[in-house]
Amino acid sequence: MNRDFTEAADPILLFSEWLAAAGATEPNDPNAMALATVDERGLPDIRMVLLKGHDTHGFVFYTNFESAKGLQIMAHPSAAILFHWKSLRRQVRARGSVTRVTMAEADAYFATRSRGSQIGAWASRQSRPLESRAALEAAAAEVAARYPNDVPRPPHWAGFRLAPVEFEFWQDGENRLHDRVVFRRSGENWQRTLLNP
């Protein structure tokens, strides 16, 4: 395995390189990430979401603000994410503060979604009890009839951006002598530290 990454200076650039490599090797959703939040009792919660953009400002994902994760983030605006690429035997963890994306960003992304996904964003009362599958399908049919052409973005559906203050890159090593490097935000720069496996 290539260990040059332990000398990297920019974790955002390194992440971009690793994500591109995963795009060539992962059979499904190389942009899938586990998102960890905490609820009102301080209990951790975790689920898989899809990364929809990243840059020097952070990692963007979209959701229903009335869902469990949406409510948790709005009450406690910090989170952690984890990418695991089994095909590459690599993982990346990051954590930091979370803010909403702009409405213009949310509108632009929503417009790229399939019509079915747009309808689903209206029909699903995400994370709340569901009477039956038939009730969900009826809600989707009602939304489809209400919007025969363009489907507008629901007011309760938009995105969040996690601005990382810490990254950890991990790569599998022989005899469990893994390579680990952590980057911590220090002003406008990043401080790099090697970790024992």
Please report which confidence band the pLDDT of residue 8 belongs to, taking 50, 70 and 90 as the band edges. Answer: confident
Please report which confidence band the pLDDT of residue 3 belongs to, taking 50, 70 and 90 as the band edges. Answer: low
**Mean pLDDT, rounded, of the chain:** 95
Q: Walk me through the domains of the chain, giving residue ranges and CATH numbers.
A: 4-110+156-195 (2.30.110.10)
Tokens found for residue 130: 């569901």
> Does the annotation count 185 as an active-site position?
no
Candidate list 100, 113, 176, 192, residue with the active-site label: 176
According to the model, what pLDDT value does residue 2 have?
64
**Which stretches within 96-165 are classed as H helix?**
103-112, 115-123, 133-146
- Summarised one tens digit per residue, pLDDT across range 83-105 is 999 999 999 999 999 999 999 99
| Count of residues in the chain | 197
Coil, helix or strand at residue 162: strand
Residue 104 phi, psi dihedral angles, 5° rounding: -65, -40
CB neighbour list of residue 112: distance below 8 Å, 6 or more residues apart: none
